[in-house]
Amino acid sequence: MPSSVSSNTLDPNTPVIVGVGQASERLTDDDYRGLCEADLASRAVETALADTGVTVPSVAAELDTIVGVRTFEESTPMSSSPLGRPDNMPRAVAKRIGIDPRSAVLGVTGGQTPQSLLTEFAGTIAAGRSSAVLLFGAEVMSTVRHLMATTVDDARPDFTEQVGGQLDDRGFDIAGLTTHQEAKHGLLSPVAQYAVLENARRHRIGLPRDRYSAAMGELFAPMSQVAAENPHAAAPTARSARELVTVSETNRVVADPFTRFIVARDQVNQAAAVVVMSVQTAHQLGIDPSRWVFLHGHADTRERPLMQRPDLSTGPAAPAAVRHALAVADIDLDDVRHLDIYSCFPIAVFNVIDPLGIAPDDPRGLTLTGGLPFFGGPGNNYSMHAIAEAVDRCRGERDSFALVVANGGILSKTSVGVYSTRPVEWSPDDSSGVQERLDSASPVRTSDYADGPATLEAFTVLPGRDGARKGIVVGRLGSGRRFVATVNTDDEPMFDLLATDDPIGTDIYVRSSANANRVFTDRAAMLRRHPPTAPAFRSSYEHVEVRRDGHLLEVTINRPDARNALHPAANAELDEIFDAYFADPELWVAILTGAGDKAFSAGNDLAQTSGAGLAVPQNGFAGLTARRSMPKPVIAAVNGFALGGGCEIALACHIVVADERATFGLPEVKVGLAALAGGLVRLPAAVGGALARDMILTGRRLDAAAALAAGLVSRVAPAGEVMGLARTVAGEILAASPTSVRESLRAMETAAAIPDEIEAIEATSAAMDSLLVSKDTIEGITAFVTKRPPRWTGR
């Protein structure tokens, strides 16, 4: 136990919590008013100010900073506020209590933020940069959903409010919480992501389904009893362990293995607030030291992105944060009397108590509020309610310690606080040493396009209301790379496998496509659904024109009204066409161009890919930008704009010729994107780093003459004659040995991957081995000696 310190001898800047408050309303309450966020928040704030024991105006007048927890309505770029909201929520709340603080702050997204913000601003006070801070958060999701469902547009209230003023908006800070592969396969919602982790944990500890289900119920049943006694709980009903996990009409399965009763309840109207200030300010205001609660220990840690974690069944950052916070507080876990462990899903609790040796039925209990499924999960703000309860418990039991564990994302971010009325100096610790140890673990490499034998690593099945099921699988290839995949909706054998007691560790088979990776019970099952077909040309295409002329293939993107921009269907056709070209021994050279004279290609057709923007073939835009090998030459005949993905397609080709009116550019940064289809790699190699950075970071465009001077194109044609020039270049290639051309391309590809120049040159000599046994080599030498044109066979 830490030694006692008198409140009179503390550093005057020592931070101390002096007031907490909560507010709530349920749709079934007799006095339900349907308050907006700012109004409900101000109720909690007024309660917190009054909780100091001195007059509300005197405390409010000392507040120099107001800090808001970000609500769910503004937690991602895709979220919205259907009933409107203030443009500056912290100052909207400040206005309601009659203050105009020096600084207003809006925190980042995540359930860790109530604790991490309190830790941050306690440190700000300790450093003398602030004297009194108000933190608050509020959610009215229940009211918004109720009004959207039960009222017509003109009868709905408008919560919009123009407040203005200074605001330090921290942004979302959600990078890494979801990857494009998780989004592509529907592994987006927390319930699906946590279900995958939960099933991974069940496999690790070796419990059958029924026993694990019972364990989840046994973990959460005591929390429901706490919620039943909490006046602010959204669902104040005590339930038995069996009732929580028994499937019924009101307790449906939301994602294997979760029933509705054991996941966070987000339909709530709840708010909480905390007032923290310096000891000096608290003394000046005459706040009774018996109401002071100190932050003895704190820690903040982060996990790697979900798909990179070494073990999906556990998140070591959370228990590491708890251990560190206790070390900062200089106490042991046994010294803690009150616990509140973030409980959005069972694994969030198990992930903390397992490694710390806390029993699920610990007599201290694992929640102070009633837990997120029962008390409620008010967006990012749950743990501020936990902090408020912790403060009350510490005041009621002098010198006791309370531990609050706050979780954000998918076990992604953990913030921990240790509280007590026992006076203590501030401990300035940033958890950096702990984070360094966590980051030292090697991340798992992932595969966007997975093919071949694999092992099932984790999974979930989400039932649809129409009876359809969505199966999501995380697996490992033989290389160790991790992938996400889905199950065909009618693949009964695969769903039967996922319904077994423990499918994890089973051998499966995965096949990639532009839309998704799909898993099957084995290769034979995959082949039954997707019989192999040899690459071949169709008689016609919808978005592309194809013309054969001897050994030459001409491919024209035929979407002139869209500036030949590519959508999923056009990409799929081009991918198929180039598969056929590279497989056809009678085709030796290909030309790619765009229909009309306005554009080669304007890249990705954003207007038609908003719902399927991730459906790009494994070989990339046009079937070229990510193709691992292009064994035969492709000439880009650029006739107009080659922008974004269009420029990247041209860069992927072996030779680029341009109309004198052509324009090249990578303007992705101007629309919030990036040139990720090869432009960031190939453009610097083509034109040099300085010019490439200029083009990539500003969206600068080059005309044909500038592109020629920079080395982006090799030849420029007069206006309207680029196809003639491309055919001339193709003819020159066709006059050469096709075998020599292919071997030269292969040797250049090999050498490009070898940094040492001499080693690269030595590697290219392997081409001679192929040329020595080639009929074309013999024909070429014979024709040269006999002074006749060679007759190439391509062999």
Residues designated as active site:
648, 668
The pairing of strands 103-106 and 65-68 is parallel
CA 763 → CA 278, 628, 748, distances in Å? 70, 18, 10
Segments of 401-451 assigned E as strands: 401-408, 413-420
**Rounded Cα distance, 322 and 276, in Å:** 22
CA 439 → CA 310, 317, 373, 434, distances in Å? 11, 10, 32, 9
Which runs of consecutive H residues, i.e. helices, occur in 412-486? 432-439
Q: Kind and range of the H or E element at 497? A: helix 492-498
DSSP 530-573: S--------S--SSEEEEEETTEEEEEE--GGGTT-B-HHHHHH
Which runs of consecutive H residues, i.e. helices, occur in 272-378? 279-285, 317-329, 346-356
Q: Kind and range of the H or E element at 579? A: helix 568-583
CB proximity list for 81: less than 8 A, separation 6 or greater: 73, 74, 159
Nearest to 545 by CA among 554, 533, 537, 534: 554
Residue 438 in 3-state DSSP?
helix
By residue count, the chain amounts to 795
**Rounded Cα distance, 683 and 699, in Å:** 13
For residue 8, the cross-strand partners are: none
Contact 503, 459 (CB under 8 A): yes
Nearest to 470 by CA among 480, 482, 483, 459: 459
Which runs of consecutive H residues, i.e. helices, occur in 659-737? 679-687, 689-698, 704-710, 722-734
Which runs of consecutive H residues, i.e. helices, occur in 61-150? 89-96, 113-126, 141-150
Contact 270, 143 (CB under 8 A): no
For 54, the token pair is 């001195």
The type of residue at 86 is P
Any idea which residue has 């595969």 for tokens?
447
Contact 323, 297 (CB under 8 A): no
